[in-house]
C-alpha cells in the first residue's frame, strides 16, 4: 500500500517555507501521494515534485483539466462557467484561439508606456512617506490597475475586489469561497451586460464579446464570464506575488541586489530567477487521470487527482545546481513558473513587462530600499505563493 504523506503534519512552518518539505520528498522520489493541509476536508492527491516529471505531466494529454471527464464537478465552474484552466482540447483549443485573437502581443506592447506611468504615479505617492507596506502601496495596485484598464473594468471598490479575489484563490476559511464566487459571478454578469449594451469601446472585454472566429464561432455568455474571471483573477494575483516575492528575494540577498544595481542589464535574468526561486504559483490546479498511467514508475489509477508542484520542480537540484541559492546570473531556462504545454500562461508577456518596469523603477527611485521588519503572513493553501504584507523603508 502506498504511503500517504500528511502535509498538515508540518504545521504553519510548511506555509511559511515549504521548500525543505519538498526537498525531503524529492530525495525520496519525484511522485508522492499526499494529504493536503486543508481546513475543510482531508483531500488526497498525487504530488509531482521532480522537474523532469513535472514538465512532462504538464504536457501529458492523459491528465485532464476537465473534472467532468471522471464525473467531478467544482464550485468555481458551477458558479462562474467553463474557463481555460478547467478545459481540455478541443474545448480548450477553441477558447484559447478566440482569446488569442483579442489578446495579442501588440496589445501587450502597447501597454508599456501606461505601465510605466502607473508605476511612476504609485511611487510618487509612496516615496514621500519613507516607509510602508510594499504590497498595499505598490505590488497590488499596479497589476490590478493594469488588468482593469486592459479589460475595461470601471473603477471599482478595489479593497472589496481584493477581498473577494483572495477568498477565491487563498481562502482563510474555505466556507467563504462560495459567497465570494457568487458575488464575483454577479459582478461579472453585470459588467458583461453593460459592455454589450455600450457597444465597441476598444478594451479587451468588449473585443471578446464581439470576437468571431473564421467559422462564425463566438464565446457564449457563460464562457465570457469564465474568461473575464480568469483574466481578472490570474491577471493580477500572480503578478502581485511576483513583484512582492521578487523584491523580498533581492532584499534578503544583498549581494544579488548590489550586483543588479551595479549592472542593470542583469534585470531580465533577475526576473526569471525570481520566478524560479519563489514563483507566484506554488502548485498547478488539479489534473485528473483520464486513463491509467505511470509517472516515474508510479502507477496512477484512472480518476486519481494529480497536482504538479511548480515551486518544488523549480528547486530540483537535478535541473538547477544549488537550487536554494538565489542567483540572478543563473541559467533559468526551463523553469515552470508559467507552466508548460497548452496551458502555458497566456499572460506571461504582460507579467514580465510589469515586473521589469516595476522593479527597475523601484530600484532607481529608492536606492536605499531595505526591509523594515518581517513579512506578513504567507497566503494559505497550496495554490498561490505570496505574502500579505512586506514592510519596507527607503
Residues 17-41, mean pLDDT to the nearest whole number: 90
Dig out the grid coordinates for 354 from the structure.
510589469
Distance of CA 89 to the CA centre of its chain: 22
CA 103 to CA 67: how far, in whole Å?
27
pLDDT, greater one: 235 or 192: 192
Local structure of residue 9 (DSSP, 8 states): G
The predicted model scores a pTM of 0.93
Instruction: Report whether pLDDT(393) > 50.
Output: yes
C-alpha distances in Å from residue 7, one per residue of 15, 45, 254, 299: 10, 11, 32, 21
Q: Are 326 and 246 in contact (CB under 8 A)?
A: no
CA 219 to CA 208: how far, in whole Å?
8
Q: Where are the beta strands (DSSP E) in 193-345?
A: 287-289, 293-295, 298-300, 305-308
Residue 151 host element (H or E):
helix 141-151
Let me know how long the chain is.
394
Instruction: Report whether pLDDT(324) > 70.
Output: yes
pLDDT tens-digit series, residues 135-149: 999 999 999 999 888
What would the DSSP string read from start to end of 288-332? EESS-EEETTEEE-TT-EEEEBHHHHTT-TTTSSSTTS--TTS--
Q: What is the pLDDT of residue 40?
A: 47
Residue with cell 504584507: 389
Q: What is the pLDDT of residue 43?
A: 85
Residue 78 makes CB contacts below 8 A (sequence gap 6+) with: none
Instruction: Report whether pLDDT(2) > 60.
Output: yes
Q: Mean pLDDT, the chain, as a whole number?
A: 91
pLDDT band, very low/low/confident/very high, at 39 (cuts 50, 70, 90): low
C-alpha distances in Å from residue 293, one per residue of 63, 98, 120, 195, 304: 9, 32, 51, 45, 10
Q: What is the pLDDT of residue 17?
A: 97
pLDDT tens-digit series, residues 42-91: 689 999 999 999 999 999 999 999 888 777 777 667 777 778 888 999 99
Q: What is the pLDDT of residue 285?
A: 92
Instruction: Report whether pLDDT(41) > 90.
Output: no
Cis bond before residue 39 (omega within 30° of 0): no
Instruction: Report whether pLDDT(388) > 70.
Output: yes
CA 83 to CA 94: how far, in whole Å?
11
Query: Domains of the chain (ranges plus CATH)?
Result: 4-393 (1.10.630.10)
Q: What is the pLDDT of residue 151?
A: 86
Dig out the grid coordinates for 99 from the structure.
482569446
**Longest CA span, the chain:** 61
Residue 257 makes CB contacts below 8 A (sequence gap 6+) with: 250, 251
Q: What is the pLDDT of residue 159?
A: 67
pLDDT tens-digit series, residues 181-234: 888 888 888 888 988 888 888 888 888 888 776 667 788 888 888 888 888 888
CA 356 to CA 269: how far, in whole Å?
10
pLDDT band, very low/low/confident/very high, at 35 (cuts 50, 70, 90): very high
Weakest mean pLDDT among 32-41, 152-161, 256-265, 336-345: 152-161
Residue 372 makes CB contacts below 8 A (sequence gap 6+) with: 131, 391, 392, 393
Instruction: Report whether pLDDT(240) > 90.
Output: yes
CA 148 to CA 191: how far, in whole Å?
12
Residue with cell 526569471: 272
pLDDT tens-digit series, residues 285-313: 999 999 999 999 999 999 999 999 999 99
Residues 236-255, mean pLDDT to the nearest whole number: 96
Amino acid at each position: 500500500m502506498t504511503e500517504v504523506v500528511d502535509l498538515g503534519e508540518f504545521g504553519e512552518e510548511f506555509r511559511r517555507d515549504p521548500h525543505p518539505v519538498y526537498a525531503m520528498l524529492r530525495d525520496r522520489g519525484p511522485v508522492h501521494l499526499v494529504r493536503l493541509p486543508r481546513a475543510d476536508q482531508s483531500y488526497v492527491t498525487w504530488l509531482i515534485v521532480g522537474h523532469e516529471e513535472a514538465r512532462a505531466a504538464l504536457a501529458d494529454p492523459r491528465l485532464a483539466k476537465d473534472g467532468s471527464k471522471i464525473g467531478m464537478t467544482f464550485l468555481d465552474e458551477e458558479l462562474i462557467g467553463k474557463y481555460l484552466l478547467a478545459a481540455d482540447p478541443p474545448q480548450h483549443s477553441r477558447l484559447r484561439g478566440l482569446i488569442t485573437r483579442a489578446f495579442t502581443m501588440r496589445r501587450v506592447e502597447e501597454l508599456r508606456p501606461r505601465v510605466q506611468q502607473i508605476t511612476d504615479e504609485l511611487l510618487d505617492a509612496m516615496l514621500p512617506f519613507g516607509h510602508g507596506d510594499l504590497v498595499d502601496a505598490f505590488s497590488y495596485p499596479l497589476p490590478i490597475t493594469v488588468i482593469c484598464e486592459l479589460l475595461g473594468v470601471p473603477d471599482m471598490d478595489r479593497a472589496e475586489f481584493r477581498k473577494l479575489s483572495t477568498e477565491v484563490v487563498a481562502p482563510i476559511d474555505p466556507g467563504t469561497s462560495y459567497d465570494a464566487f457568487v458575488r464575483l459571478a454577479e459582478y461579472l454578469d453585470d459588467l458583461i451586460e453593460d459592455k454589450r449594451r455600450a457597444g465597441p469601446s476598444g478594451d479587451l472585454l468588449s473585443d471578446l464579446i464581439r470576437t468571431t472566429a473564421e467559422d462564425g464561432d463566438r464565446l457564449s455568455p457563460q464562457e465570457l464570464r469564465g474568461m473575464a474571471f480568469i483574466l481578472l483573477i490570474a491577471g493580477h494575483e500572480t503578478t502581485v506575488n511576483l513583484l512582492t516575492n521578487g523584491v523580498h528575494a533581492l532584499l534578503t540577498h544583498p549581494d544579488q541586489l548590489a550586483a543588479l544595481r551595479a549592472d542593470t542589464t542583469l534585470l531580465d535574468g533577475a526576473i526569471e530567477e525570481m520566478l524560479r526561486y519563489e514563483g507566484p504559483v506554488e502548485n498547478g490546479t488539479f489534473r485528473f487521470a483520464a486513463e491509467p498511467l505511470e509517472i516515474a514508475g508510479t502507477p496512477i489509477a484512472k480518476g486519481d487527482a494529480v497536482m504538479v508542484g511548480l515551486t518544488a520542480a523549480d528547486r530540483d537540484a537535478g535541473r538547477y545546481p544549488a537550487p536554494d541559492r538565489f542567483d540572478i546570473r543563473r541559467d533559468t531556462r526551463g523553469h515552470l513558473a508559467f507552466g508548460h504545454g497548452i496551458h502555458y500562461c497566456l499572460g506571461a508577456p504582460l507579467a514580465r513587462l510589469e515586473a521589469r518596469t516595476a522593479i527597475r523603477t523601484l530600484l532607481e527611485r529608492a536606492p536605499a530600499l531595505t526591509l523594515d521588519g518581517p513579512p506578513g503572513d504567507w497566503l494559505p493553501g497550496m495554490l498561490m505563493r505570496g505574502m500579505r504584507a512586506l514592510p519596507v523603508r527607503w
